[in-house]
Amino acid sequence: MTRPLILINFKLYKEAAGSKGLDLARKLSKVKKSKYEVAIAPSLLTTKEIADKVNIKVFSQHCSEVGLGAHTGRISAIELKKMGVKGVILNHSERKIPLKVLKKVVTSCKKLKLHTVICASTLSEVKKVAELKPTYIAYEPKELIGSDISVTDAKPKIIIKAVELVKRINKNTRVLCGAGIHCKEDIGQALLLGTTGVLIGHAVPKAKDPKKFLEKMLI
């Protein structure tokens, strides 16, 4: 994935849960997106159906460090891979993973060629998770998540520092930013600040016409 990544996290928004998730995924799969790579992270329980039925890259919102076996209630990278999932979001502010466990999850995902997007809410956390050499690190300041204050407006200097920091630690790891991203200017700014894409939450699922809204953001 060399084009800038636009990763839309459906979280458990009611507008994207259950059958609405499939509808939304179908709408977003029709978005004209020549310059960008668009991927979605549906709710965990709709992931398989969407990966089966919709022509769009699907990421999982979480993944556990375990393989197959006696692991009640866990999510295995092996099953995600078999489902056709292309990548995983890890350590989101709403689903933190201890660093020791995160290391194991990244190792198992790498073995299965699943892209890893590790979220970090501070520069010191960016530094720690960069050592794990994930595919992407998503800088998302917790206090801006869910707001309409874009991280690109509120924290441009931190984004630049995060990009520089990650480049120093592992030049193959790309940086995304997220929190409050809600218009094409936010995406333009994010790329200007050196990131290779964005993580978007509420703005797309909650839009009156999500397909049109996203198309406007990707012009």
140 in catalytic set = yes
Through-space distance between the first and last CA atoms of the chain, rounded to whole angstroms: 19
Name the catalytic one among 92, 115, 182, 202. 92
What one-character-per-residue DSSP string does 165-202 give?
A: HHHHH-TT-EEEEESS--SHHHHHHHHHTT-SEEEE-T
Site of interaction with ligand G3P (CB under 6 A): 9, 92, 140, 145-146, 178-181, 199-203
What's phi and psi for 22, nearest 5 deg? -65, -45
Q: How far is the CB of 181 from ligand G3P (least distance, A)?
A: 5
Residue 174 makes CB contacts below 8 A (sequence gap 6+) with 5, 135, 136, 137, 166, 195, 196, 197
Residues in a beta bridge with 41: 9
208/171 Cα distance (integer angstroms)? 39
Q: How many residues are there in the chain?
A: 219
Q: How many CB atoms lie within 10 A of CB 152?
A: 25
**Cβ of residue 206: shortest distance to ligand G3P, in angstroms?**
9
Q: Which residues have a catalytic role annotated?
A: 92, 140
